Amino acid sequence: MPLTILYPDSRSDRLDIEQAVAGPDTVLINPRKPSFDAIEPAAWQNADGIVVSRVPITRDVVAQLKRARIVVRNGVGYDVVDLEACGAAGIPVCNVPDYGTTEVADSAVAMMLTFARGTMALDAALRADLKGGWTHVHNVTARRLRGATYGVVGLGRIGTASALRARAFGMNIAFYDPYLPNGADLALGFTRARTLHELLGMADVVTVHAPLTGETRAMIDASAVAAMKPGAFLLNTARGPICDTAALVEGLKSGRLAAVGLDVLPAEPASTADPLVAAWQANEPWIRGRVLLGPHAGFYSPDSFVDLRKKAIETAFHYLRDGKLANCVNAEFLKHRR
Q: Is 138 a catalytic residue?
A: no
Q: What is the per-residue DSSP string for 239-255?
A: -GGGB-HHHHHHHHHHT
User: Of the listed 69, 143, 239, 256, which one is catalytic?
Assistant: 239
Report which of 123, 317, 112, 335 is spatially closest to residue 326, judged by C-alpha positions.
Answer: 317
Question: Please, what is the end-to-end C-alpha distance for the chain in angstroms?
Answer: 17
Q: Is 103 a catalytic residue?
A: no
b/e for 26-51, b at 16 or more Cβ within 10 A? bbbbbeeeeebeebeeebbebbbbbb
Cβ within 8 Å of residue 49, ≥6 positions away: 3, 4, 5, 6, 68, 69, 70, 71, 72, 316, 317, 319, 320
b/e for 131-151, b at 16 or more Cβ within 10 A? eebeeeebbebbbebeebbbb
Residue 252 near residue 141, CB atoms below 8 Å: no
Q: Is 268 a catalytic residue?
A: yes
User: Of the listed 14, 40, 144, 268, which one is catalytic?
Assistant: 268
Q: How far apart are CA 103 and CA 122, in angstroms?
A: 25
DSSP alpha helix (H) spans, 23-156: 41-45, 59-63, 83-88, 101-117, 119-128
SS3 at position 36: helix
User: Of the listed 296, 314, 318, 337, which one is catalytic?
Assistant: 296
Q: What does DSSP assign to residue 150?
A: E
Question: What residues act catalytically?
Answer: 239, 268, 296
